[in-house]
Structure 1
């Protein structure tokens, strides 16, 4: 199985914020944005492994700036690291006011996906080759984020998380 680069999985998904997407304050509802982010990150993961994928986890999503009715949402997604059958996808979300002509960061997040074979069982995925300095930083941090996800999900004991222990113990 050939390795792939992060840019090979890169996608941009664009949506217009309509009245049905907003809350009573005229802001994009967080749940609607999370739905769009799930689609965008699934597209990036599927592009990386050339197979169907399912969402395994969603990391913390912090909203920096609200996105208003009539603004445009741009979701940039790409795979940051591939493990055995899972892939971490990083997303940056931008709002764009097309009338005032400016773009602003709304949030970023990490989603994890598992690739599936035709029998809906996990299947191996191509490894990822980071090329840029930012990709290398995201790649290196992915192992710590994965260990934290596994601990929080009850699939790993904290004392087995060597990468996390090294971060806190200064090893």
Structure 2
């Protein structure tokens, strides 16, 4: 199976944050940000695999700063690593002041997706060929993040069986 670059499946999403999208602080609900992240990451995973996918895990979601009503939420997602049937996706979230053009980092997240065949069974995905320094940095740390996910799942399983 031929590899694919992250640029081949990269996804962007921009939306305006309006008052109904916000909490009593006037900032976007965290759950709304999570939904945007999952949506962008799903697009990346489907573009990379060209198969149906399911979200297997959301390893991390780090909120760095809030997004205010009236600002734009800007998301960028790209694939960082694959194993046989799974894909790790990184999503960066920024806020943009539409009057000044100023942008600031507001959240980052890693998610894992599994590609499925027509019967809903896991299916192989193309490997990733990182090109940029940022892509290589994420790629080089992916195996460690995979091991952490595996350890966390095992610990939870063992704890549940006690």
TM-score by length of 2: 0.92
**By how many angstroms is 1:84 displaced?**
0.7
RMSD, matched Cα = 1.4
Give 1:65's aligned residue: 65
**By how many angstroms is 1:18 displaced?**
1.7
**By how many angstroms is 1:100 displaced?**
3.2
* Cα offsets for 1:140-161 (capped at 9, x unmatched): 1001001101110118xxxxxx
> 1:9-158 counterparts in 2 under 5 A?
9-154=9-154
**By how many angstroms is 1:99 displaced?**
2.1
Alpha-carbon separation, structure 2, partners of 1:32 and 1:134: 26
Show structure 1 runs of 4+ deviating over 6 A: none
Bigger shift: residues 70-79 or 132-141:
132-141
* Cα offsets for 1:95-143 (capped at 9, x unmatched): 0111233111101110100001111111000001111222111111001
Alpha-carbon separation, structure 1, partners of 2:92 and 2:23: 22
**By how many angstroms is 1:30 displaced?**
0.6
SS class of match (1:154): helix
Check whether the contact 2:60–2:111 (CA below 8 A) recurs between aligned residues: no
Alpha-carbon separation, structure 1, partners of 2:101 and 2:5: 32
Alpha-carbon separation, structure 1, partners of 2:26 and 2:16: 13
TM-score by length of 1: 0.87
Task: List gaps (5 residues or longer) in structure 2.
Answer: 156-162
Alpha-carbon separation, structure 2, partners of 1:110 and 1:154: 19
SS class of match (1:27): coil
Alpha-carbon separation, structure 2, partners of 1:23 and 1:44: 29
